[in-house]
């Protein structure tokens, strides 16, 4: 059973929301677009791996995008799969055409045919995550759970080359489609020890959401974020409110609910709450009662004490 499904990570959500709201001349515009592309590529790769892991969903407990904290240090696991016998940690990698893994120097070199780039050695990264995960289990009185890890390549076209010990790589690095069989092979040699669902629930209870101030990293200030309702068809910012509709000034497309995305962008990029005045500024409308109606429609909760609206923690409006 899959008890935690992957959502678009918050830093990527923020990048996707902020980029159309910046002037193309913004100082770090190209760097923001580059980071968005990279994060999207990683996210899509993780979803590819999810497809294969979900083939085992009826036999075990799966958690995607697990973010845990132990001994004051947080760590992120792309997927955790628990059977009655062991836990399997999966690191997804969306590498380019060719990857060279050097088991002696612990180096990872990516090549697209023209340029070579060195990146973190994925096995060391996965080994460290395994140690952190074992610390987590020990802290929750589950020290006897065997833990295995895999580095899964999401692009079936990636060619793996090894320099050094092939055997070290062959059992740890694989393409996504091989994962179910590799997990079952290990599992079949072990004995039942615990209830995977209970273990999964313990992990789920401790899971947080990974986030960081990505806008600050690129020097995006609130004043750089262009207000306005975005056209769902052409992306133009600044749809005009006509009777019961939003109308795009650029492509003349009409929308009844384009404001939902704008309010969501505000909550994601500017503040976790919104006032009626801020809503009017950001949506470029003048009517106070229209703003109230819109905020209600977005299922926001009114906080009388501070005269502002906020999202219910378990509710997203996108
Ligand atoms: Zn438009």
- State the Cα–Cα distance between residues 169 and 200, nearest whole angstrom: 28
In a domain, residue 285? The reply is yes
Select from 206, 238, 266 the last residue of a domain: 206
Q: How far is the CA of 229 from the centre of ligand 1 (A)?
A: 10
Q: What is the pLDDT of residue 219?
A: 95
Q: How far is the CA of 276 from the centre of ligand 1 (A)?
A: 26
Tell me the pLDDT of the chain (318 aa) as tens digits. Answer: 999 999 999 999 999 999 999 988 999 999 999 999 999 999 999 999 999 999 999 999 999 999 999 999 999 999 999 999 999 999 999 987 899 999 999 999 999 888 899 999 999 999 999 999 999 999 999 888 999 999 999 999 999 999 999 998 999 999 999 999 999 999 999 999 999 999 999 999 999 999 989 999 999 999 999 999 999 999 999 999 988 899 999 999 999 999 999 999 999 999 999 999 999 999 999 999 999 999 998 989 999 998 999 987 654 443
Domain co-membership, 56 together with 197:
yes
Domain co-membership, 201 together with 244:
no
Q: What is the pLDDT of residue 57?
A: 96
Degrees to nearest 5, angle at CA 52 with 50 and 55? 105
CB atoms within 10 A of CB 21: 18
Degrees to nearest 5, angle at CA 48 with 16 and 318? 35
- State the Cα–Cα distance between residues 84 and 6, nearest whole angstrom: 23
In a domain, residue 52? The reply is yes
Q: How far is the CA of 39 from the centre of ligand 1 (A)?
A: 27
Domain co-membership, 201 together with 234:
no
Q: How far is the CA of 174 from the centre of ligand 1 (A)?
A: 44
Q: How far is the CA of 241 from the centre of ligand 1 (A)?
A: 13
Residue for token digits 């990279």?
38
Q: How far is the CA of 247 from the centre of ligand 1 (A)?
A: 8
In a domain, residue 55? The reply is yes
Q: How far is the CA of 254 from the centre of ligand 1 (A)?
A: 8
Range of the domain at 306: 227-310
Domain co-membership, 95 together with 243:
no
Q: How far is the CA of 244 from the centre of ligand 1 (A)?
A: 17
In a domain, residue 220? The reply is no
In a domain, residue 212? The reply is no
Q: How far is the CA of 268 from the centre of ligand 1 (A)?
A: 23
- The residues pairing with 161 across neighbouring beta strands, listed in sequence order, are 100
Q: How far is the CA of 255 from the centre of ligand 1 (A)?
A: 10
Domain count, the chain: 2
Domain co-membership, 65 together with 201:
yes
Q: How far is the CA of 275 from the centre of ligand 1 (A)?
A: 27
Q: How far is the CA of 232 from the centre of ligand 1 (A)?
A: 7
Long-range contacts of 182-190 (CB under 8 A, 24+ apart): 182/150, 183/56, 183/81, 183/83, 183/88, 183/148, 183/150, 184/56, 186/86, 186/88, 186/148, 187/83, 187/85, 187/86, 190/85, 190/86, 190/146
CATH (domain of 265): 1.10.10
Q: How far is the CA of 253 from the centre of ligand 1 (A)?
A: 5
Q: How far is the CA of 178 from the centre of ligand 1 (A)?
A: 44
Domain co-membership, 237 together with 188:
no
Domain co-membership, 102 together with 20:
yes
Q: How far is the CA of 283 from the centre of ligand 1 (A)?
A: 16
Q: How far is the CA of 194 from the centre of ligand 1 (A)?
A: 56
Select from 172, 206, 240 the last residue of a domain: 206
Sheet containing 254-255: which strands, arranged edge to edge? 240-242, 245-247, 254-255
Q: How far is the CA of 215 from the centre of ligand 1 (A)?
A: 26
- State the Cα–Cα distance between residues 207 and 204, nearest whole angstrom: 5
Domain co-membership, 142 together with 243:
no
Q: How far is the CA of 108 from the centre of ligand 1 (A)?
A: 44
- State the Cα–Cα distance between residues 104 and 69, nearest whole angstrom: 31
Q: How far is the CA of 296 from the centre of ligand 1 (A)?
A: 25
Question: Is residue 46 a contact partner of residue 152, using CB atoms and an 8 Å limit?
Answer: no
In a domain, residue 6? The reply is yes
Select from 206, 237, 271 the last residue of a domain: 206
Q: How far is the CA of 7 from the centre of ligand 1 (A)?
A: 27
Q: What is the pLDDT of residue 314?
A: 58
- State the Cα–Cα distance between residues 29 and 23, nearest whole angstrom: 8
- State the Cα–Cα distance between residues 82 and 250, nearest whole angstrom: 52
Q: How far is the CA of 282 from the centre of ligand 1 (A)?
A: 18
φ, ψ of residue 91 in degrees (nearest 5): -100, 120
């Amino acid at each position: 059973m899959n008890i935690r499904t992957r959502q678009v990570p918050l830093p990527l959500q923020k990048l996707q929301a902020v980029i159309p709201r910046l002037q193309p001349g913004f100082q770090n515009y190209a760097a923001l677009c580059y980071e968005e592309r990279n994060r999207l590529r990683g996210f899509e790769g993780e979803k590819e791996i999810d497809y294969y892991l979900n083939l085992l969903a009826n036999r075990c407990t799966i958690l995607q995008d697990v973010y845990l904290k132990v001994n004051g240090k947080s760590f992120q696991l792309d997927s955790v799969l628990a059977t009655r016998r062991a836990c399997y940690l999966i690191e997804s990698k969306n590498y380019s055409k060719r990857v060279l893994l050097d088991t002696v120097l612990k180096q990872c070199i990516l090549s697209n045919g023209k340029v070579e780039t060195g990146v973190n050695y994925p096995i060391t990264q996965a080994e460290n995550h395994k140690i952190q995960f074992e610390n987590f289990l020990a802290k929750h009185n589950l020290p006897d759970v065997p833990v295995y890890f895999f580095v899964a390549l999401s692009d079936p076209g990636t060619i793996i080359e090894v320099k050094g010990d092939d055997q070290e790589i062959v059992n740890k690095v694989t393409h996504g489609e091989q994962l179910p069989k590799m997990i079952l092979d290990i599992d079949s040699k072990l004995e039942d020890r615990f209830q995977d669902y209970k273990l999964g629930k313990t992990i789920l209870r401790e899971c947080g959401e990974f986030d960081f101030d990505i806008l600050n990293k690129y020097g995006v200030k609130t004043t750089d974020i262009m207000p306005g309702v975005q056209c769902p068809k052409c992306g133009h910012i600044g749809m005009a409110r006509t009777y019961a509709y939003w109308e795009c000034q650029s492509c003349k497309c009409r929308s009844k609910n384009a404001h939902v995305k704008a309010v969501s962008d505000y909550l994601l990029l500017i503040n976790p709450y919104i006032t009626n005045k801020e809503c009017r500024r950001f949506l470029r409308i003048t009517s106070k009662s229209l703003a109230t109606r819109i905020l209600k429609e977005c299922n926001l909760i009114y906080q009388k004490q501070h005269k502002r609206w906020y999202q219910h923690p378990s509710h997203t409006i996108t």
